[in-house]
Structure 1
Amino acid sequence: MNLDINQENLYLILPSKVAWMTDMLTEDKHISVVEAIKKIYASDTYRRLENETTKLWHWGPVALYQELTESESSE
């Protein structure tokens, strides 16, 4: 059994990462779940997260959320 994460199977772990960030974003910014999901999927953080070579998928939800909010404030 191959347990390596690669570009072909990375999509399997992304929903849980997005779900955690969505929860944090809705609570922190007082926005709807739909708005939060749209923000996440449109972000540079997500573009980097879905690229296996960046290894952002290794990051925990708090670190990803911090990256998301920091990159959002610098735009």
Structure 2
Amino acid sequence: VYIRANNTKAGLKKVFNEINEMEKTEFESKMFSDYEDRFQYFIGICLVILILELFIFERKSKWAGKIKLFG
């Protein structure tokens, strides 16, 4: 169907009416579940424990000597 629709609304109304009269079908639908991420709590606790471990223990581990955080 060819409908000339220039700046007038008459042509656009015909186009919208044609679209509304078309058969409406659903082609495909998917359902998604949105989960709430809670891993940040465990990562935060682990990071705090690792940082405390570096400062609390007098004996330095092998890898702690290789990391030069402050110069």
TM superposition score normalised by structure 1:
0.26
Q: If each structure's helix is expressed as a fraction of its own residues, which one has the higher value? A: 1
* Higher Cα Rg, which structure: 2
TM superposition score normalised by structure 2:
0.28
* Greater RCO structure (CA 8 Å; 6+ sep): 1
